[in-house]
Amino acid sequence: MGVNGTAPPRRSRFPLFVVPLLVIAVLASMAISPQLWGAGDLFDCDLARSLEGPQQGHLFGFDLQGCDMYAQVLYGARSSLSVALLVGALTLVVGVALGSVIGFRGGWLDAVVQQASDVVLAVPLLLAAAVVMTFVDDRGVWPVSLTLVVLGWPPMTRVVRAEVRGLRQQSFAEAARALGASDRRILRRHILPNAMWPISVFAAGYTAVVVAAEAILTFLGVGLSLPAVSWGLMLARVRYRVLDHPHLLVPALFLSVTVAAFVFLGESLRNHFEPED
Amino acid sequence: MARFLTGRILRGIFTVFLVTLVVHGGLALLPGDPIRALFGQRRPDPLVLEAMRDQFDFNRPWIVQYLSYLKDLVTGDWGNSFPGSIRGIQDVGPPVEGIVAAAAPVSARLIAPVLAVQLVVGAAIGALAAVYRRRPAGTLIYLISVALLGIPVIALAYVLQMGFAWELAWVPTRGLDAWPSYVLPVTALSLTTTCLVILFARSHLRDVLRQPFIKATVARGIKTHRVVGLHAMKVSLSAFLSLIVSNLGQLITGLIIVETIFGIQGLGSVMFSAIYARDRPLLLALTILTTVFVTLANILADATHLLLDPRTQETL
């Protein structure tokens, strides 16, 4: 019996989150080995073929420099997913560590961290990142990722903090404390495992935001710099040519599919673990 | 309520002050000489460099620079932007406050309809999804909203521009003059947050519709659309506003992309060229301005919450 005498909602037999996970796996295989998907040489460019449309052997046509778009799009998956996974993982680590400590302990540390996150949240993430990155010359995957982590930790930290604070007051945590468990043990064995699902729902959604963020930063000329291959960079270069050459928008399609995969992952995780009806 | 608002405003001022400190100080800490960077590959005369450093106040100790910047900022003198092309020592860019004053109205004309669409369309469709949640229509709205959430503004802006310029030449794809030219940029800017409001409204209204005061209105024989649109909405509206305000940062970065792609000469375009030209005085002022705007909007959202939902007053 459920809480109000109603039957508890039943979890679906087939977990829907397998679908977005499969899409992400396909994208990851492109990122790990573009050759597997038949990507040609990235730098085999021919100006004579500039902006030519899709054709036999060149599925997505050519860009302005006459380089094969198919190879570029596949290599772009590598940049996009490395930044996404790096930022996602690091933010998760920082958020869980910081959020669980301040959520569990409270006190002055909590007040300081909250004030600091107020300051960081007051400046839009991408604007702050753009300002910082204008003064970084060597913009590879690591500098871009670290900037996004340093400027983007507060939302995750707040989610973890709220979860931990909520769970700390529940009876099972008090029971553990009554039995003499240490704070550390209560946090690790009783609280964090219960907070895991809401946190992973948020992490999936946040990763979607990061994928878009990397593309937008690169589009603005302050994300990954050449020789990196990135969907944002490809989209920035085609600004005035899209109208006549629609095949130049293929990176936008891949970008949307990647973002959407993470959005659906978050939504399906939420629906699986907190069924509504 | 007055006491609560005073507290919020004071905290807002403190946060904005901390942001100016962190941004100004952070930029000073970054390696590299911003004036030298202006010249790129060229080798400027050391005397010219020195004079320009003086002109843009990079020579005094940081704390003096910061305090004088703060004083000027408050008195409305936001300094000069960097020159676009460097010819002589006296060559500075136009004053930052002039650039902002010229571009801000354009962006305001864009932001106002975007916020209206996010709130009205989001709440209306979200309400439909909440009422019809067990029917195909509700599920359809849910699925479409989640799917649209996956389209980043950068892809959306291009796709809209191309789709409408290419096949359906109904509305202009560049500039911002008569109302048809608003259609594409407003759609591109509002879509993501509108979908978020729809999803949020769907689950929030479901909870509100279960509360006793709603059951009471239903029992009195008031029609469903009136119960949802008036009684439930009055409680939910402030929550929607908070959601929209918390996504303002996303709207502002969206503004950079959309104004650039659609060729609109607003603050977004100014930000784009400031980033592109590494124009430090302009970037600094725009960042602080954005922070003030976002903080102000947060305070307004809290005030609306107090006005619309009297229950929150008791908890103060």
Q: State which residue of chain A sits closest to B202, comparing Cα positions.
A: A276
Q: Is A16 on the interface with B (CB under 8 A)?
A: no
Helix, strand, coil share of chain A (percent; to 5): 70, 0, 30
Spatial distance between the Cα atoms of A155 and B301, rounded to a whole number of angstroms: 19
pLDDT given at position B313: 63
Which amino acid makes up residue A237?
A: R
Q: Determine the residue among B58, B141, B253, B269 to mutate to test chain A binding: the one whose Cβ has the most chain A Cβ atoms within 10 Å.
A: B253
DSSP B232: I
Spatial distance between the Cα atoms of B230 and B243, rounded to a whole number of angstroms: 20
Please work out, in degrees rounded to the nearest 5, the angle formed at the alpha carbon of residue A257 by the alpha carbons of A254 and A261: 140
Spell out the alpha helix ranges (H) of B132-247. 136-149, 153-166, 183-209, 212-219, 224-226, 233-246
- Reference A192, options A164, A159, A162, A155; nearest CA is A164
pLDDT given at position A155: 92
Tell me the three-class secondary structure of A1-68, residue by residue.
CCCCCCCCCCCCCCCCCHHHHHHHHHHHHHHHCHHHHCCCCCCCCCHHHCCCCCECCECCCECCCCCE
Which amino acid makes up residue B303?
A: A
Smallest Cβ–Cβ distance between B249 and the set A124, A219, A262 belongs to: A124
pLDDT given at position A3: 46
Maximum alpha-carbon separation in chain A? 77
Q: Hey, are the CB atoms on A255 and B257 less than 8 Å from each other?
A: no
Cα-based distances in Å from B275 to A130, A222, B278, B287: 7, 8, 5, 11
pLDDT given at position A2: 40
- Which 221-280 residues of chain B touch chain A by CB within 8 A? 248-250, 252-253, 256-257, 260-261, 271-272, 275-276, 278
User: Which of residues A274 and A218 earns the better pLDDT score?
Assistant: A218
pLDDT tens, position by position, A161-217: 999 998 988 888 888 888 888 888 888 888 888 888 889 999 999 999 999 999 888
Which residue reads 């709207």 in tokens? Answer: B251
Q: Hey, are the CB atoms on B158 and A256 less than 8 Å from each other?
A: no
Locate the domains of chain A by residue range: 9-37+59-273
Spell out the alpha helix ranges (H) of chain B. 2-29, 34-38, 46-55, 62-74, 96-131, 136-149, 153-166, 183-209, 212-219, 224-226, 233-246, 248-262, 267-276, 280-308, 311-314
pLDDT given at position A100: 92
β-bridge mates for residue B95, sequence order:
B80
DSSP B81: P
pLDDT given at position B170: 65
Smallest Cβ–Cβ distance between B15 and the set A122, A216, A264 belongs to: A122
Which amino acid makes up residue B273?
A: S
Smallest Cβ–Cβ distance between A124 and the set B159, B257, B290 belongs to: B290
- Which 190-219 residues of chain A touch chain B by CB within 8 A? 208, 211-212, 215-216, 219
φ/ψ of B95, rounded to 5, equals: -60, 140
- Which 151-170 residues of chain A touch chain B by CB within 8 A? none
Q: Is the dihedral of CA A259, A260, A265, A268 positive or negative?
A: positive
φ/ψ of B220, rounded to 5, equals: -75, 0
- Reference A84, options A262, A233, A253; nearest CA is A262
Q: pLDDT under 50 in chain B at which residues?
A: 89
B181: three-class secondary structure by DSSP: helix
Q: Is A242 on the interface with B (CB under 8 A)?
A: yes
Q: Which residues of A touch B286 (CB under 8 A)?
A: 127
- Reference A96, options A163, A157, A187, A173; nearest CA is A157
Q: Hey, are the CB atoms on B275 and A243 less than 8 Å from each other?
A: no
Q: Which residues of B touch A274 (CB under 8 A)?
A: none
Token pair belonging to B316:
């103060």
Spatial distance between the Cα atoms of B242 and B234, rounded to a whole number of angstroms: 14
Which residue reads 């946060």 in tokens? Answer: B15
Q: Hey, are the CB atoms on B27 and A216 less than 8 Å from each other?
A: no
Helix A192-219 to helix A141-168 angle (10° resolution) is 150
Q: Which residues of B touch A215 (CB under 8 A)?
A: 152, 154
Token pair belonging to A173:
């945590």
Q: Which residues of B touch A261 (CB under 8 A)?
A: 150
- ipTM score here? 0.83
Say yes or no to pLDDT of A91 above 90: yes
Highest averaged pLDDT of the listed ranges A15-24, A34-43, A265-274, B198-207: B198-207
Task: For residue B127, give every residue at least 6 positions away whose Cβ sits within 8 Å of its Cβ, in sequence order, or none.
Answer: B201, B205, B228, B229, B232, B233
Say yes or no to pLDDT of A19 above 80: yes
Task: For the beta carbon of residue B211, count every other beta carbon within 10 angstroms.
Answer: 12
Distance from CA of A181 to the nearest CA of B (A): 35
Spatial distance between the Cα atoms of A273 and A253, rounded to a whole number of angstroms: 30
pLDDT tens, position by position, A248-267: 788 888 899 999 999 999 98
Number of alpha carbons in the 13 Å side-chain half-sphere of residue B245 = 22
Q: Is A112 on the interface with B (CB under 8 A)?
A: no
Q: Is A276 on the interface with B (CB under 8 A)?
A: yes
- Which 137-156 residues of chain B touch chain A by CB within 8 A? 146-147, 149-155
Q: Is A255 on the interface with B (CB under 8 A)?
A: yes
Q: Which residues of B touch A126 (CB under 8 A)?
A: 249, 253, 256
**Top CATH class, A9-37+59-273:** mainly alpha
- Reference A24, options A209, A262, A271; nearest CA is A262
pLDDT tens, position by position, A222-245: 877 777 788 888 888 777 676 777
Token pair belonging to B78:
């936001």
Q: Which residues of A touch B146 (CB under 8 A)?
A: 263-264, 267
Question: What is the distance, to the nearest Å, from the Cα of residue B93 to the centroid of all Cα atoms in its chain?
Answer: 26
pLDDT given at position B171: 66
Spatial distance between the Cα atoms of A103 and A110, rounded to a whole number of angstroms: 7
Read off the pTM. 0.86
Spatial distance between the Cα atoms of B275 and B258, rounded to a whole number of angstroms: 15
Distance from CA of B261 to the nearest CA of A (A): 7
Average pLDDT over residues A106-133: 89
Token pair belonging to B21:
């400190």
Smallest Cβ–Cβ distance between B158 and the set A208, A222, A252 belongs to: A252
Say yes or no to pLDDT of A65 above 80: no
Phi-psi region of B93 (alpha: psi -120 to 50; beta: other; left: phi over 0): beta
Q: Is A277 on the interface with B (CB under 8 A)?
A: yes
Q: Hey, are the CB atoms on B286 and A127 less than 8 Å from each other?
A: yes
